[in-house]
Amino acid sequence: MKSRDEVRRERLIKNEQSFRDYNNRRVSFEQEADVEDDLVPFVCECGDSECIEGMELSVDDYMAAHSSGLRFTVKPGHYFPEAERVVAEHDRFWLVEKHEA
Ligand SMILES: [Zn+2]
């Protein structure tokens, strides 16, 4: 029997993963279009299933931010301390990292 906290954490991770998949497809598209220096609209990868906000990153910023599989890019302030910690606070986005399971 899973605790409510476990269920909530799994839902957070699953949600963030799906947004990340979307953003990765976006990266492939932008790389083909050869606009790597431009700001690209990405979706916020926070764990709030209601969040449909976006933020702008360069493709390089995005790729660097996701060097670890536990890291996600979110809008400033969109993070859940029970599931993740803030790694870096940039003007346009924050980088968060999941706690190890
Ligand atoms: Zn968000």
pLDDT digits (tens, 9 = 90+) for 4-51: 888 888 877 777 888 888 888 888 877 776 655 688 899 999 989 899
Upper half-sphere CA count for residue 12 (Cβ side, 13 Å): 23
Ligand 1 centroid to Cα of residue 38, in Å, is 22
Counting Cβ atoms within 10 Å, is residue 8 exposed (0-12), middle (13-18) or buried (19+)? middle
Phi, psi of 77 (to 5 degrees): 90, -15
Band (101; pLDDT cuts 50, 70, 90): low
Number of domains in the chain: 1
Distance 83 CA to ligand 1 centre (A): 14
Domain that holds residue 47: 4-98
pTM of the model as a whole: 0.71
Q: What are the start-end ranges of the H helices in 34-87?
A: 59-65
Q: What is the mean pLDDT of the chain?
A: 87
| Distance of CA 75 from the midpoint of ligand 1 (Å) | 6
Cα 3 to averaged position of ligand 1 atoms, centre (Å): 25
Predicted confidence at residue 10, as pLDDT, reads 81
